């Protein structure tokens, strides 16, 4: 039987970060837990924190399951994570500037040219263009798992539009409302300054033609998008306009926003839609979500787009395997955070190994997300494995495989009381004039017993993430 690192208990003793929670946990009667859980659900519903799951029918807007038991890191644990995350964000952005420029890492033979230049996420439309401050990915969401007291692994990088930060902020708000005494008894680093940090980051990458206080907007696909709540939530907290494509237009070398007082120039667009839909004159001609002519203005330095078009080539799951090499190549440093060992199915020997060991591996689509298009071998039936094998055989290069990691567990409130459940972590690293991240992140928890899949679309929930001040 696989043993898992329990973040609260070690050798039946309570680990130091959780010492203050032991008494709170023991005093949490079943009745009080039910009352508090109902209170949390009512607050989430009132605030409107929902997410949509496409293609499943039924209620398109679901409440995100919220677990009241916080996850805790010490200040020193966080300091190491922060250093590793910032290092990774620097390397990923250096890679993006390079592959849209001279491609030195490809010339040096450190990463295959085919993997970069024939990648579906590589945008030839921005080749040769360097965005303001040399930043392509302005919000880097790094998914991290823990397997031991000092063992952390990066599962994947999200360099385009990583979602979930609203859950990080609202989980904290929820805990402070329901358990104010916990915050008086523990010195917990704040996360509520994230919107201000994000606004400052976006303003810092205003284009060269901006000679005034930058006007920042959030571009959303609209209210049918699964993350629309988050778009409106962030716009409100940042004090910026939430716009759709039809609210913006190009005139001359600039982008303007339609307002009741007439057109207003826009300098920075925090876009929450995919590259393909940004500009029908450059990408998909049938797109009704974008702004015709946007890319011409962008390339001429009239507007900044965050994250930049083309950033997605850096978070391809096959490219992920080369991030440690990026750190060495661009920064001359050894990676602080380790990758999960990964087999690339595009390579013949790796593919043969994966096919022979499907029952023991996790297999993912290189462009997949949300827990879809993947196989968790140890949890799959023989029929599911064989069906997945047939799909893989048709396009091996579309998959990577990883071992089933012994993800750490944290105490979680369940119907029977308290039980360990598997968790991961997504901190949000902001990259602009400077690189910074708030001390915390989105902890996702697999609420089903034994499950390793933490995505909300697959039955996962969220927790508040504490970093203790030292």
**pLDDT tens across 301-355, in order?**
999 999 999 999 999 888 999 999 999 999 999 999 999 999 999 899 999 999 9
Average pLDDT over residues 30-48: 86
Q: CATH classification of 341-403, choosing from 3.90.950.20, 3.30.1490.270, 3.40.190.170, 1.10.287.3510?
A: 3.30.1490.270
Element (H, E) at 178: helix 165-178
Going by C-alpha positions, the residue among 268, 269, 166, 272 that lies closest to residue 221 is: 272
Average pLDDT over residues 243-255: 97
**pLDDT tens across 123-172, in order?**
999 999 999 999 999 999 999 999 999 999 999 999 999 999 999 999 99
Element (H, E) at 234: helix 228-238
For 327, which DSSP code? I
| Residue 247 buriedness (CB in 10 A; 0-12 / 13-18 / 19+) | middle
pLDDT (0 to 100) of residue 258: 97
Gap between the Cα atoms of 470 and 39, Å rounded: 32
Q: Which stretch of 91-105, 144-158, 374-388 has the lowest confidence by average pLDDT?
A: 374-388
pLDDT (0 to 100) of residue 65: 87
pLDDT (0 to 100) of residue 196: 98
Res. 61 pLDDT band, cuts 50 70 90: low
**pLDDT tens across 177-188, in order?**
999 999 988 899
Number of C-beta neighbours around residue 191 at 10 A: 23
Mean pLDDT of the residues in the chain: 91
Residue ranges per domain, the chain?
9-336+405-467, 341-403
> What is the biggest distance separating any 2 CA atoms in the chain, rounded to whole angstroms?
68
More confident residue, 449 or 96: 96
pLDDT (0 to 100) of residue 378: 85
Query: Per-residue pLDDT for 58 more than 50?
Result: no
Average pLDDT over residues 419-435: 96
Query: Per-residue pLDDT for 54 more than 60?
Result: no
pLDDT (0 to 100) of residue 55: 43
């Amino acid at each position: 039987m696989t043993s898992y690192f329990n973040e609260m208990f070690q050798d039946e003793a309570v680990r130091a970060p959780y010492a203050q929670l032991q008494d709170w946990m023991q005093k949490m009667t079943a009745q009080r837990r039910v009352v508090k859980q109902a209170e949390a659900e009512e607050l989430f519903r009132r605030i409107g924190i929902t997410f949509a799951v496409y293609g499943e029918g039924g209620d398109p807007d679901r409440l995100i399951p919220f677990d009241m038991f916080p996850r805790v890191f010490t200040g020193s644990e966080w300091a190491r994570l922060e250093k590793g995350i910032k290092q990774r964000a620097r390397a990923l952005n250096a890679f993006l500037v390079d592959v849209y420029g001279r491609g030195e890492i490809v010339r040096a033979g450190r990463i295959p040219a085919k993997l970069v230049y024939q990648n579906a996420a590589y945008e030839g439309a921005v080749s040769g263009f360097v965005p303001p401050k040399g930043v392509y990915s302005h919000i880097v969401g790094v998914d991290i798992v823990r397997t031991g007291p000092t063992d952390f692994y990066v599962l994947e990088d999200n360099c385009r539009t990583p979602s979930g930060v609203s859950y990080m902020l609202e989980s904290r708000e929820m805990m402070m409302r329901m358990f104010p005494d916990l915050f008086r008894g523990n010195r917990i680093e704040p996360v509520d300054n994230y919107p201000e940090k994000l606004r400052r980051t976006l303003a810092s990458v205003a284009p060269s033609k901006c000679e005034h206080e930058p006007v920042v907007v959030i571009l959303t696909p609209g209210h049918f998008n699964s993350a629309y709540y988050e778009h409106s939530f962030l716009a409100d907290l940042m004090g910026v306009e939430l716009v759709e494509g039809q609210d913006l237009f190009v005139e001359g070398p600039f982008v303007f926003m339609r307002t009741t007082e007439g057109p207003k120039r826009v300098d920075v667009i925090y876009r929450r839609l995919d590259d393909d839909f940004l500009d029908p004159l450059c990408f998909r001609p049938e797109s009704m979500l974008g702004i015709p002519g946007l890319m011409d203005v962008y390339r001429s330095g009239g507007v900044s787009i965050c994250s930049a078009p083309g950033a997605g080539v850096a978070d391809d799951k096959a490219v992920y395997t080369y991030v440690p090499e990026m750190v060495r190549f661009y920064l001359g440093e050894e990676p602080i955070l380790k990758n999960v060992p990964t087999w690339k199915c595009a390579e013949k020997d790796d593919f043969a190994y994966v096919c022979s060991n499907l029952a023991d591996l996790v297999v993912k689509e290189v462009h997949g997300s949300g827990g879809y298009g993947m196989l968790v071998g140890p949890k799959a039936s023989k029929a599911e494995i064989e069906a997945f094998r047939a799909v893989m055989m048709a396009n091996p290069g579309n998959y990577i495989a990883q071992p089933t990691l012994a993800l750490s567990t944290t105490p979680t409130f369940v119907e029977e009381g308290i039980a360990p459940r598997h968790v991961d972590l997504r901190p949000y690293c902001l990259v602009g004039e400077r690189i910074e991240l708030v001390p915390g992140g989105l902890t996702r928890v697999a609420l089903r017993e034994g499950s390793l899949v933490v995505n909300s679309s697959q039955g996962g929930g969220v927790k508040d993430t504490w970093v203790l001040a030292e």
